[in-house]
Amino acid sequence: MTGSVALSLFDRLAMIMDAVAPLLTEKDISEDAKAFFSLLSKFKAKTIKVFVVPRQQQQVSEQHKEYRFYTILLAEKLKASIHELASSLTVLGRVTKVLNKSESINLISEYLGGAHLPDNVMQELVDELASNPDAAEFLGGTPSLDDILVKYPSVAITPIAIYR
Amino acid sequence: MAGKNKLRILEFIYLDDQKVDMTLSVLEGSLPTQSKSLKKRGSSKRGGGSVGFQGLLGAGGGFEYSSGEELEESKKQNEFSRFSRLYKLLQENNGINSIETMDASSHKRLQRDK
């Protein structure tokens, strides 16, 4: 499949934090935020969660854009910089799960080792991020619940290779 | 889920070589031939016990004289050739379903085939 690859919300956040963390002073960031980003940093070092939207999907109706693929990459298998992922690439992988209407994958749980966060807490987290005027610019779009919840009709794949 | 088009790779952004080898083993019914011969070669004394040469050599051997850059280039070529072999085998076995777009019917088809 050839399509556009996008990092998940938290991987984008973690990448931004990597870039800006050295520039922050103690006053710029709260202890809670530091702990949260430190946790993100720990997990993102091992895996990178990405969405892939097939190339021609981007030309069809808005309704069809929800048909996207979700995959977890092992950081050690990356052959290029993580920045290279955010572009149009070809993915060869195996379909591992086609989500039913009642199923969803919570990306925060993936980060937190399976811990479950209630939907309203996740929504609050997203709202908090979305209320920051700089967030959309930094993240390449206004964050939404779809950024952290993989749901029907998404398809999970195990990647073998991503190339251009 | 690439197509039956000719394989063109400018560069790998991500490559799970273990999955490539495992899938090759399944499709070929054994360990990949090239890796086997290289393993044998690597274990010979002529190899000098270099670290990390397994599966990296091209034709002609002589890895004890290879620079880091040459080894890296050999490694890349080896990755390309193993992946190309896998891709070809998958195509021959109709194991590649090219997905360029998704809608309700293709989603159902994936669910059914899963």
Quote the tokens at residue B76: 């890349």
User: ipTM, 2 decimals?
Assistant: 0.73
CB contact under 8 A, B104 and A153: yes
A154 pLDDT above the threshold of 50: yes
Residue environment code for A109-120, b if the CB has 16+ CB neighbours within 10 A, otherwise e:
ebbeeeeeeeee
pLDDT: which is higher, A140 or A86 = A86
Reported confidence tier of residue B53, pLDDT bands at 50, 70, 90: very low
pLDDT, one tens digit per residue, over B58-93 is: 333 334 555 677 777 777 778 999 999 999 999 998
- Gap between the Cα atoms of B18 and B21, Å rounded: 5
- Residue A137 is predicted with a pLDDT of 67
Please indicate if any CB of chain A lies within 8 Å of the CB of B51: no
The torsion angles phi and psi of B25, rounded to 5 degrees, stand at -60, -45
Q: Highest mean pLDDT range out of A121-125, A153-157, B31-35, B41-45?
A: A153-157
pLDDT, one tens digit per residue, over A71-83 is: 888 989 999 988 8
Structure pTM?
0.70
pLDDT: which is higher, B39 or B20 = B20
- Partner residue opposite B11 with nearest CB, options A54, A74, A80: A80
Query: In whole angstroms, what separates CA B100 from the centre of its chain?
Result: 23
A interface test, pick of B13, B15, B79 with most A CB neighbours within 10 Å: B13
**Partners of A92 in beta bridges:** A161
- A102, A85 in Cβ contact below 8 A? no
- Gap between the Cα atoms of A111 and A46, Å rounded: 10
- Residue A121 is predicted with a pLDDT of 77
